[in-house]
Structure 1
Amino acid sequence: MAQDPTLKEADIKGKLVAYSSDQSNSSVEKSGLLGSMPMRLLPADKEGKLRGDTLLEAIEKDKAQGLIPCYVVANLGTTPTCAFDDLLELGPICNRENIWLHVDAAYAGTAFVCPEYRHLLKGVELADSFNFNPHKWMLVNFDCSAMWVKNARYLVEAFNVERIYLKDQHKGLAPEYRHWQISLGRRFRALKLWFVLKIYGVEGIQKHVRHQISLAKYFEELVTKDQRFEVCTSSMGLVTFRLKGENQLTKNLIHKIQERKNIFVIPGQFQNKYVIRFAVCSRLTERSDVEFSWQEFQSQADEIIASKITCEVSDKKGISAIQLSDAGCDKNSIEKCK
């Protein structure tokens, strides 16, 4: 309104638009719905990062249509592959365009306790707010979310609703956290965070993070040694991988794994490839657990590939679908062989 006094508040709300990467968490898209504004999910590059030129192109296109870009969510550790957006690319654009830059480091933010990963934070001083979830990797019980804001005044003014029964003589002497969110009350999460910091200390948390990353690297090595598989991405405690070949093979593999219920993994999408996300999460995970998980993948891959070979041979020899079923060929392969 300061830039264009002719616009009314209702006019501005109808023109606001926000941006993030198509690799962002689902909560980012949901925030657009809650804020009643379009959330543009911009395409990431081949490494899963949102680039500055992609963001700038989208901003200029929307401004040309009379819209008002107001909010960007950058990712330090995307959900699908734990990719890190370059804040030194995105930050200057947001600052120049007067756009609020929020950094979502929900999972990977804990890694910044280790000096060797802080280079990924370069440009964070250009952001307006920063969030990470200690309950995801910092050993804190669910739920606990920590957020910093460069200027809390904007947050307070946005949620400030004065009532006579809320006034007191201490106004201005201490932060009134009822102005920081929608509800008047909130759950008390600081104590459990304090206990983790007290018990583990900085060195203990660093040891935990480094140990889990080393386990993920170990799993990556196991996958690489098996020529039937390919590693798609590896970042922090997350490895994405797949069976080489058509996506259906990996879909069949994860379906078998989920049916057996010995380990829990979920699928993902990377460069039009269907992948499996292997994330080291529990503080109790050891090398033996990683080896057990890998044996699960290998044993089920053996069955899938054997079924595929049986199907391919039967296609040449005219074996019936009943025979294929008896041989362990999955439903999709049987349909293909018919």
Structure 2
Amino acid sequence: MDWDSFAEWGEKAARWTQDYHQTVKDKPVRAQTEPGDILNALPELPPEQAQPIEDIFQDFEQIVMPGITHWQHPRFFAYFNANTSPPSVLAEFLTSAIAAQCMLWQTSPAATEMETRMMEWLRHALDLPTGFAGVIQDSASSATLAAVLTMREKALSWQGNQQGLFAQKPLRVYCSAEVHTSIDRAIWVAGIGQQNLVRVLTKGDWRGMDPVALEQAIQSDLDSGLHPAGVILSVGGTSVGGTDPVEECLKVAAKYGLYTHVDAAWAGSAMICPEYRHYWQGVERADSIVFNPHKWLGVQFDCCAHFLKNPEDLVQTLAISPEFLKTHGKDGIINYSEWSVPLGRRFRALKLWFVIRAYGLEGLRTRLRNHVNWSVDLHDRLATEPDFEITTKPMWSLWTFRYAPDGAVDLDDLNLRLVNAINDDGRIYLTQTRVDGNLTIRFQAGQFETTEDDVRVAYDVITEIARSLT
């Protein structure tokens, strides 16, 4: 294939993409293949000679697509959505076509300056103070790692990168049990160690960290000769939407001079709606905040918005400037590679620009509000069914339930069989979690094209399949 034939195949790919998104609702949500099916359909050795693009595209449809779980299906109610939208796909196409490596201002000034402006747009949409600056990371995992490295360096007076952690007092980082496992990984990679990630007690319907218990844990570590370094808060945790009392916890952290990071990877998108901001009241006190537009705003993966009160702290932690990466003769520029762990950077800001302009903030707010309202309606309907129990209340569009008919002995086994049967059925896709040690089933609505009818279908599927098991 060469550039002379590219336009023809580009048009075919565009038509295929349009057809896929308009018909994906007719497919089973989760891939129906068995382990090894795709691997065994692929030749063991690569071809020695070029093959026709017609054959490659045919194999894409016949081998690859049967093994795809359709994240863009309107009845994908599992995990958190990894969304896309037509303007995002178009922008990603152009990004791929340009294929710029945007590590420095001089390697593509448009990418750097658009990233600056798009982060200002998002800051405005969330109503964060003007003092916050932002950078687009690939994922919340990377943003959290950057935050943990920064809290490590600040706690060690900027000597950790040079001296390591040898002979230092153990650093301590505090969070609740509801945080994402990316926090654990960040602690590992930063060299702090799993034993020094302190899980603080939670309480209340939001399953949030107890500020009193947080202060007690910090003071206890100080009394024991340990070195508190930072606090990581959750807003909309993955399991059940666990949300810490942000303002109270940040006040405790400030009292002890600890660096703070707020992980709102999923729920942060909802903060473009003023009526949901009470969930993170006081967030302007945080040093670092992260949310993923690719989870709920129709901007496809990967696109993570990372806000910083003092970006100089992050730059001091991560920046390395050898001569071959310096830009001479230009003042006042930003090199965003100094704000992230990877040196290489994609032009991620372009798809934000396309999506925000194509829908407007009010169009995006309407989608979010619909998802929340429709999900709450489903919760209310299922709550009236005598053989179901609600295990956690709705946090935005996420809540959990269990099938608990009279006489059932092993509810964990029954609910695991239920979620597996639902996913094998293919009409909707759900996942499970544990609440207070008990296996429960999660529901969350957030796919960009989901309709009220799609959520209503979930009620029919859940109740129908549950009662077929007993």
Query: Under TM normalisation by the shorter chain, which class is it?
Result: 0.7 to 0.9
- Residue 257 of structure 1: which of 397, 401, 422 is its match? 422
Q: What is the rounded CA distance, in whole Å, between the counterparts of 1:4 and 1:282 in structure 2?
A: 43
RCO (CA 8 Å, sep 6+): is it higher in 1 or 2?
2
Deviation at 1:225, TM superposition (A): 2.1
In the superposition, relative to structure 1, how do residues 266 and 12 fare at CA in structure 2: closer, same or farther (>3 Å)? farther
Residues 234-275 of structure 1: per-residue CA shift (max 9 Å, x gap)? 111112111126333222211222332332111011123321
Deviation at 1:73, TM superposition (A): 1.0
Q: Conserved in 1, the CA contact under 8 Å of 2:176 and 2:202?
A: yes
SS at match of 2:202: coil
Aligned to 1:122: 281
Q: What is the rounded CA distance, in whole Å, between the counterparts of 1:184 and 1:3 in structure 2?
A: 25
Task: Please list, as runs of the form range in 1=range in 2, the aligned pairs for 1:1-338 lying within 5 A after superposition.
Answer: 9=163, 10-11=165-166, 15-37=170-192, 38-47=196-205, 48-170=207-329, 172-232=331-391, 233-244=393-404, 246-305=411-470
Q: Conserved in 2, the CA contact under 8 Å of 1:133 and 1:146?
A: yes
Residues 266-303 of structure 1: per-residue CA shift (max 9 Å, x gap)? 10111233210111121221222122222221122112
- TM-score, normalized by length of structure 1? 0.84
- Structure 1 portions without partners, runs of 5+: 306-338
Q: Conserved in 2, the CA contact under 8 Å of 1:12 and 1:68?
A: no
In the superposition, relative to structure 1, how do residues 102 and 109 fare at CA in structure 2: closer, same or farther (>3 Å)? same
Q: Conserved in 2, the CA contact under 8 Å of 1:129 and 1:147?
A: yes
Q: Conserved in 1, the CA contact under 8 Å of 2:155 and 2:229?
A: no
Q: Conserved in 2, the CA contact under 8 Å of 1:220 and 1:239?
A: yes
Which amino acid is the alignment partner of residue 303 of structure 1?
A: S
Q: What is the rounded CA distance, in whole Å, between the counterparts of 2:154 and 2:230 in structure 1?
A: 17
Deviation at 1:61, TM superposition (A): 2.1
Q: Conserved in 2, the CA contact under 8 Å of 1:239 and 1:278?
A: yes
Kindly, what percent of the aligned residue pairs are identical?
30
SS at match of 1:267: strand
Q: What is the rounded CA distance, in whole Å, between the counterparts of 1:49 and 1:2 in structure 2?
A: 26
Deviation at 1:121, TM superposition (A): 2.5
Deviation at 1:58, TM superposition (A): 1.8
Q: What is the rounded CA distance, in whole Å, between the counterparts of 1:68 and 1:187 in structure 2?
A: 37
Which amino acid is the alignment partner of residue 177 of structure 2?
A: D
Which amino acid is the alignment partner of residue 42 of structure 1?
A: V
- Structure 2 portions without partners, runs of 5+: 1-152
Deviation at 1:204, TM superposition (A): 0.4
In the superposition, relative to structure 1, how do residues 111 and 12 fare at CA in structure 2: closer, same or farther (>3 Å)? farther
Deviation at 1:147, TM superposition (A): 0.8
Deviation at 1:172, TM superposition (A): 4.8
SS at match of 2:337: helix
- TM-score, normalized by length of structure 2? 0.61
- What root-mean-square deviation, in Å, do the aligned CA atoms of Structure 1 and Structure 2 show? 2.2
Which amino acid is the alignment partner of residue 286 of structure 2?
A: A
Which amino acid is the alignment partner of residue 455 of structure 2?
A: V
Deviation at 1:44, TM superposition (A): 2.1
In the superposition, relative to structure 1, how do residues 3 and 220 fare at CA in structure 2: closer, same or farther (>3 Å)? closer
Q: Conserved in 1, the CA contact under 8 Å of 2:433 and 2:441?
A: yes
